[in-house]
Amino acid sequence: MKIKSICCLGAGYVGGPTMAMIAAKCPEISVTVCDMNEARIDAWNSDTLPVYEPGLQEVVESARGRNLHFSTDIKAAIAGADLIFVCVGTPTKSYGIGAGRAADLRYIESAARLIAEVSEGNKIIVEKSTIPVKTATAIQAILAANSTTNATFQVLSNPEFLAEGTAVADMESPDRILIGGEQTPEGQAALEALVSVYAHWVPRERIITTNLWSSELSKLVANAFLAQRISSINSISALCESTGADVDEVARAIGSDSRIGSKFLKASVGFGGSCFQKDILNLVYLCESFNLPEAAAYWRAVVTMNDWQKSRFVEKIVRTLFNTVSGKRIAILGFAFKKDTNDTRESAAIHIVRDLVAENAHVIIYDPRVPTETIHRDLLEVGVPQDIINFNIEIAADPYEAAAGAHALATLTEWDEFRDLDLPRIYDLMLKPAFVFDGRAILPAAALAKHGFKAFVIGKGE
């Protein structure tokens, strides 16, 4: 089975970049990325892509118009494809059974119904969205029950492991590609067809093949383990602040043990992003569904620790500012959930700003990539009233404008440009005492002290 034409449902943070990379690496395969969101498709066809990722523009431009197309004509793209990636969203369910934990699979289901309606001949359907174990069974059932032609389907699982901000490098040289398929001759043939797509640029030994359920589960487990490391080091950051130990030194000391490893041990204001919390809650729900309450409680604690890290940061600011921030100006540097992305989903900054304005603070936000409308929308979504957004939130054009007249400044995203701020200038602009709360431990601690700031650094104390 040789793949000549690929279609992808969902032109978001995963669908757009991954398909652009496949198109760039496989010039003989036609790749069409579709979405019903017309504005998003228009943006993919323009010079201002809807996703900010270093290096992405070049990858898109290398293939767009040649063998990479972005379209809202979903049915035509499905009909013409040998292989269909499903890259739609799988947010946490906000209603009914499993609300707040289970994955909402309505977009997966509607994609499967559409595929069944339009398809003829043999199609390979690839789950790239992150989904609960056994979703492939549901997709197979929907396809079988709704196909009106003699179409045949093979469902594969191929979860995506890219991280935002480093997506291009992650896709260019992945640690591994994971593909799960049915243990039947047809399932294995479909699996080999997808392997041959990635083999255009990924060494064969990095392409892991498994059964469907191992592949589906491994994605949730990978995110849970990564998030668990952050919650672990964040729990230790609190202990460091109380004891005088330095969390970066502890991370270095333990991380040089090759069994532990050095990555993902950076203490922070808490992990954000669209997936860690959602996927852990999904894992918790799976454990509960299979009557494993101890396993569920174990993984839930990773999220509980993350929530605590965010709220104790706010508490630290309020207590340090003489137990009140009412009417005080607080400069926030960084709103994205990590550097090098314009994505703010589940960003720690959203919760911290919400809690600060609940204390009547006046918050001035600067982020190099996040537009004002996104910040306003995010705050509205977590319950900040519109009049508070109008009167108590300001957006600044640079860090210095944010710091002007501020009682305190807090770094919430580790943007590189914050590492070399003009500290004497910031100090002059701020009210005194000039309090700094470094939620990412990125500012030069010695220089802060030298220039007169009263600084609190996460995991290091005063």
Site residues (vs ligand UGA, CB under 6 A): 130, 160-164, 223, 226, 230, 264-266, 268, 271-276, 337-338
3-class DSSP assignment, residue 217: helix
Among the listed residues 33, 35, 310, 313, the single contact to ligand NAD using CB under 6 A: 35
- Establish whether 278 is a catalytic residue: no
Binding segment (CB under 6 A) for ligand NAD, from list 158-166, 168-176, 245-253, 430-438: 158-166
Toward ligand NAD, which CB reaches closer, 175 or 398?
A: 175
3-class DSSP assignment, residue 442: coil
Among the listed residues 6, 24, 26, 40, the single contact to ligand NAD using CB under 6 A: 40
* Residue 37: DSSP 8-state: -
- Establish whether 53 is a catalytic residue: no
Residue nearest ligand NAD, CB atom distance:
12
How many Å separate Cα 318 from the centre of its chain? 29
Tokens matching residue 354? 């919400």
Residue 10 binding partner per list ligand NAD, ligand UGA, none, with a CB distance cut-off of 5 to 8 Å that depends on partner kind: ligand NAD
Helices 348-358 and 293-320: crossing angle, nearest 10°?
Answer: 50
Residue 439 CB partners (closer than 8 Å, separation 6+): 268, 269, 313, 348, 352, 410, 411, 412, 458
- Establish whether 123 is a catalytic residue: no
State whether the Cα torsion 421-426-432-437 is positive or negative: negative
Toward ligand NAD, which CB reaches closer, 40 or 440?
A: 40
Point out the catalytic residue in the list 8, 26, 240, 275.
275
Find the largest Cα–Cα distance for the chain: 75
CB 234 to ligand UGA: min, Å: 7
Residue 37 binding partner per list ligand UGA, ligand NAD, none, with a CB distance cut-off of 5 to 8 Å that depends on partner kind: ligand NAD
CB atoms within 10 A of CB 57: 15
State whether the Cα torsion 210-215-219-220 is positive or negative: negative
* Residue 227: DSSP 8-state: H
CB 412 to ligand UGA: min, Å: 10
CB 85 to ligand NAD: min, Å: 10
Asked whether 269 and 352 are in contact (CB, 8 A), the reply is yes
| Strand ranges of the sheet holding 177-181, from the earlier edge strand across to the other edge | 68-71, 30-34, 5-9, 83-86, 122-127, 152-157, 177-181, 207-211
Asked whether 301 and 380 are in contact (CB, 8 A), the reply is no
Among the listed residues 30, 92, 129, 342, the single contact to ligand NAD using CB under 6 A: 129
3-class DSSP assignment, residue 425: helix
**Applying CB under 6 A, does 74 fall inside the site for ligand NAD?**
yes
Among the listed residues 3, 10, 118, 230, the single contact to ligand NAD using CB under 6 A: 10
**Applying CB under 6 A, does 6 fall inside the site for ligand NAD?**
no
**Applying CB under 6 A, does 32 fall inside the site for ligand NAD?**
no
Residue 271 binding partner per list ligand NAD, ligand UGA, none, with a CB distance cut-off of 5 to 8 Å that depends on partner kind: ligand UGA
By CB under 6 A, name the binding residues for ligand NAD: 9-15, 34-37, 40, 74, 87-90, 107, 110-111, 114, 129-130, 160, 162, 164, 274-275
Active site residues: 160, 219, 275
